[in-house]
Amino acid sequence: MRKQVAIVGSGPSGLLLGQLLAGIGVETIILERSSREHVLGRVRAGVLEQGTVELLEEAGAAARLHAEGLPHSGISLAFDGRLHRIDLAALTGGKHVTVYGQTEVTHDLMDKREAAGLVTVYEAANVALHDFDGAAPFVTYDDKDGVSHRIDCDFIAGCDGYHGVSRKSVPERALKTFERQYPFGWLGVLAEVPPADHELVYANHERGFALCSMRSTHRSRYYVQCPQDDRVEAWSDDRFWDELRRRLPERTAASVTTGPSFEKSIAPLRSFVAEPMRFGRLFLVGDAAHIVPPTGAKGLNLAASDVRYLFAGLREFYVGKSQAGIEAYSQKALARVWKAVRFSWWMTTMLHRFPDTGDFGQRIQEAELDYLVHSQAASTALAENYVGLPY
């Protein structure tokens, strides 16, 4: 089989890239090691930058997003027992974010791909990338019946996440990695209850960080900071709701509607970047190249940002007959990646309690938060990063 672009991974970035390329007549195949049901069962991010929404519009996959997504023009920071609202729209000339679950984005893109008759291979085993440092790369895999296949292609897009085969296929000497592990995790629950606030609430409290988020007007997503080695089994629903309310201002805590959780998990927090993001005819996209703590709501948006740059480069190659765009992909993508890594690190250090914070560190956090909400310049810096920096 021959396709112009072989895409490894059927998460949002792989599907979005495939849809955009289909729009300019470029043939793709997507290889996914998991089943379709498993991919759709992943619970992930839910806050989309305006630029991500615009890219989904360009791919023709934003109809349900506009019908069901929740536009948010602000967020609130909770500390000293009060809520402090950051007016994102007023500070950024009308920009906003949209709450719409990553699972829903994936579903919409899958439906578009299937409706167009484009090829996705699920449960592809033993995926291997070959000769991407030359002019004739190819990918091999075994289907679920154990039959081996080879796909010759012009380019390979590695959209298969942190644990995928794409980055692991790059010789170690060609990669430089940067990593920061955070000494805590996030215990998160999903529950069919209305959210405590109409916008996201980020809380800094002496007992630890908390976040009130949502997936819809009737489905809430809540998090509390917990020890790195904590176990989900130690947290009953009652214990979680009690701890969440302790970390919120009284009025917000009173607005928390409790109910049985249908998903509960602990996520470790880390910052990770691999450089460069291009190796000959292999491109790393999204989590295959970088991970950010979820505090800044940047993970899915950074993946979409990578897709935007890669799609522009490939369009220039196929339509404009120029290699300039693909040559510049890694540099352009990483410039935006590092700004998002910085923002996510800053939000994390400002809002969480670290084991070595101490009295001095705590006073610094309090001063930072106080300055942030009382300085228009500081609030604007947060707002423009949160809604998404320019491309």
DSSP 58-96: HTT--HHHHHH-EEESEEEEEETTEEEEEEHHHHTTS--
Torsions phi, psi for 18 (to 5 deg): -60, -40
Catalytic residue among 294, 329, 332, 352: 294
pLDDT at 95 over 70: yes
Catalytic residue among 84, 205, 298, 332: 298
Residue 25 phi/psi, 5° resolution?
80, 15
Digit-coded pLDDT (tens) for 168-208: 999 999 999 999 999 999 999 999 999 999 999 999 999 99
Q: What is the mean pLDDT of residues 295-308?
A: 96
| Cα–Cα distance measured from residue 57 to residue 291, given in angstroms and rounded to the nearest whole number | 25
Give the pLDDT band (50/70/90) at residue 325.
very high
Return the pLDDT at 43: 67
Catalytic residue among 3, 72, 332, 352, which? 72
Amino acid at 242: D
Does residue 202 have an active-site annotation?
yes
Tens-place pLDDT, residues 341-385: 999 999 999 999 998 888 898 899 999 999 999 999 999 999 999
The set of residues, in sequence order, having a beta carbon less than 8 Å from that of 109 and lying 6+ positions away, is 12, 15, 16, 18, 19, 59, 61
- Catalytic residue chosen out of the listed positions 202, 222, 223, 329: 202
- In the predicted structure, residue 316 carries a pLDDT above the cut 90: yes
Contact (CB, 8 A) for 139 and 126 = no
> Hey, is 205 helix, strand or coil?
coil
- Given a contact cutoff of 8 angstroms between Cβ atoms, the answer to whether 265 and 13 are in contact is no
| Residue 122: active-site member | no
Catalytic residue list contains 294: yes
What are the CA-CA distances from residue 1 to residues 6, 152, 227, 301 (Å)? Answer: 11, 6, 49, 32
pTM attached to this predicted model: 0.95
Q: Which helix H or strand E contains 223, and what residues bound it?
A: strand 220-226
